[in-house]
Structure 1
Amino acid sequence: MLDEVAGWLRRRSWTAERRPLSQLLAAKRAAGPHGTVSVVLPALDEEATVGAIVTEIRRALMSDAPGAVPLVDELVVLDSGSTDGTAAVAAEAGATVVHRDAILPRLPAVPGKGEVLWRSLLATRGEIVCFIDADLREFDARFVSGIVGPLLTEPDVQLVKAMYDRPLEAGGTVEPTGGGRVTELVARPLLNLHWPQLAGFVQPLGGEYAARRSLLERLPFPVGYGVELGLLIDALNAVGLDALAQVDVGVRHHRHQDGQALGRMAATIYRTAQTRLARGHLVRPVLTQFERTAEGFAPRVHEVTTEERPPMMTVPEYVRGREVA
């Protein structure tokens, strides 16, 4: 297995600089309709960062911006219920803003990142779909071009994850590594133990990845924070290791969660893995955490969500929309 992972790393790991924009644009033109690119930013109360991300993508990668390479065909911010100015800031910066609840209204939405990503397939038209988290700072457009590149130039590649350094920024200090705590403590051990073919992914939980629509529409989407792990495992099962790849895009700066939020994320990710190891044989669990109050430590119980949305190809509205298109 170690030899298989090492071979995959040589064949399917690249840097963003490996494919210049001129090469990507030529490949996009040659691909015709199959080279259309949609960028989706799932957003919940991200007014502080979403505008700069939209502005940079439009400046560098969209055809109506002066000097831009027209690599991206549509840029959609999927608002999952923000109470701040996220939607207004994103729209002012030039994104198409769609509210989660406006998509597939017959099916009430549930909270969670995966829910928004799943619904975004109904709100976009590109044959290549690129997801970018909306809380990134110091954003560089190569986060998009880097992970879209292999899908335009390598016909056998189906899904591409970004890899990067994740500094840990807290209390006014910056550690060059250490920002991926749930990755190192939960996701990486799970993958190495149970899906060792995926051990070569540097950032398996990263929110920046691109995939062919023809793959995404066949996969179930965990509705919560387990979505990245679930999609990666299910993509491996659907198309095999050599159809998966990763691209080094540099450094990722973003907001860090507190310890209890990380605990909830870790439990959800662990449960997502359990579901894939033994579907139908596990009890839906809860996570108890503690908060100090005037009376002492008080328990706070959180459900660990295991709900998933089915492959988009099973949703009639999606199928009808694709037939019309």
Structure 2
Amino acid sequence: MLEEVERWLSRRSWSVEDRPLPELVAAKRASGATVSVVLPALDEEETVGEIVAEIRRALMTERVPLVDELVVIDSGSTDRTAEVARAAGARVVHRDAILPRIPAVPGKGEVLWRSLLVTGGDIVCFVDADLKEFCADFVSGIVGPLLTDPGVDFVKAMYDRPLGTAAGQGGRVTELVARPLLNLHWPLLAGFVQPLGGEYAARRSLLERLPFPVGYGVELGLLVDALHTVGLDALAQVDVGVRKHRHQDGQALGRMAAAIYRTAQLRLARGHLVRPVLTQFERGEQGFEPRTHDVDTEERPPMTEIAEYAERRVA
């Protein structure tokens, strides 16, 4: 198993410098493929505008027409996220306006799933909207292998992830939960540096066949399901440098970890399981007080099973 992972690392791990922009533009023109970039956003007015503006400046010009559409999916922001994104040049769609027949539930995976209905690219690239000091390499890097190698279907970004001034200490849920789960249960995926990273691209033809966990488990779920659907050799990763973003507090990370564990559990045993809850504690006037949260376990079916999507594709 270790030898297979090492072979994969040598064949399917690259740097953004391996594919210069002129090469990608030529490959895109030759293939006729179209590229959609999706930013799921919830109260990200401080960062979303800069990300949108940088993608438009670097990858949506006459000289570098790499990205065909840039869509921000607002999942219920109470700040100026939608206004800022629109002013920067993105098309903004509210989560609840997509597929209203199925009431939306909170969660990142819900937004990503619904985005397939309002985008048209052959390649869909997801980018988190809370990135700071954003560089367009995050997009061109992970789109690149999909444009130049027909054998690649799914590409994750890899990067250094600092925690404040501490290099490499970000990604705490990855190191404490996701990486142990993958190494123990899906060792073929042990070579992914950032399995929970929010920056990844895939062919629409793959994404539309995968179920989407509605919450924090979406990245782990898509990665595991992609492995079982197209095999390890169709998966890849690209080094895009350093990722800076706002960090969650410890309790939010606990809820994230529980959802990720539950996503893994569902994939290990698809039987009937009781919907779990997670109890955490906060100090109050009477001492430590419990706060109980549902763990995200709901999943949306593959988009090919949704009638509205099939009708849209035919049209």
Match of 1:27 in 2: 27
Deviations 1:14-47 (A, max 9, x none): 0000000000000000111xx1000000000000
Matches for 1:1-12 after TM superposition, within 5 Å: 1-12=1-12
Deviations 1:46-101 (A, max 9, x none): 0000000000000000036xxx5110000000000000000000000000000000
Deviation at 1:281, TM superposition (A): 3.7
Deviations 1:187-207 (A, max 9, x none): 000000000000000000000
Match of 2:59 in 1: 61
1:162 pairs, out of 145, 157, 179, with 157
| SS state at 1:90 partner | helix
CA–CA distance in structure 1, aligned partners of residues 73 and 290 of structure 2: 34
Match of 1:38 in 2: 36
CA–CA distance in structure 1, aligned partners of residues 60 and 209 of structure 2: 28
CA–CA distance in structure 2, aligned partners of residues 124 and 250 of structure 1: 28
Residue 274 of structure 2 corresponds to residue 283 of structure 1: yes
Which letter maps to 2:162? P
Match of 2:291 in 1: 300
Of residues 100-109 and 274-283 in structure 1, the stretch that sits farther from structure 2 once superposed is: 274-283
CA–CA distance in structure 2, aligned partners of residues 203 and 168 of structure 1: 15
Which letter maps to 1:151? L
| SS state at 1:167 partner | coil
CA–CA distance in structure 1, aligned partners of residues 132 and 206 of structure 2: 29
CA–CA distance in structure 1, aligned partners of residues 308 and 118 of structure 2: 11
Residue 225 of structure 2 corresponds to residue 234 of structure 1: yes
Match of 2:306 in 1: 315
Match of 1:177 in 2: 168
Match of 2:124 in 1: 129
Match of 2:177 in 1: 186
CA–CA distance in structure 2, aligned partners of residues 57 and 187 of structure 1: 30
Deviations 1:121-155 (A, max 9, x none): 00100000000000000000010000000000000
Match of 2:110 in 1: 115
Tell me the matched-pair count. Answer: 315
1:92 pairs, out of 87, 91, 104, with 87
Match of 1:269 in 2: 260
Deviations 1:260-307 (A, max 9, x none): 000000000000000000012422111000011111110000011110
CA–CA distance in structure 2, aligned partners of residues 187 and 284 of structure 1: 20
Give structure 1 stretches of 5+ with no counterpart.
Answer: none
Q: Contact 2:132–2:245 at 8 Å: present in 1 too?
A: yes
Match of 1:71 in 2: 66
CA–CA distance in structure 1, aligned partners of residues 297 and 250 of structure 2: 21
Residue 129 of structure 2 corresponds to residue 138 of structure 1: no
Which letter maps to 1:127? D
Residue 210 of structure 2 corresponds to residue 219 of structure 1: yes
CA RMSD of aligned residues (A): 0.6
1:246 pairs, out of 237, 253, 268, with 237
CA–CA distance in structure 1, aligned partners of residues 43 and 272 of structure 2: 37
> After TM superposition, where is structure 1 displaced by more than 3 Å over at least 4 residues in a row?
none
Deviation at 1:6, TM superposition (A): 0.1
| SS state at 1:8 partner | helix
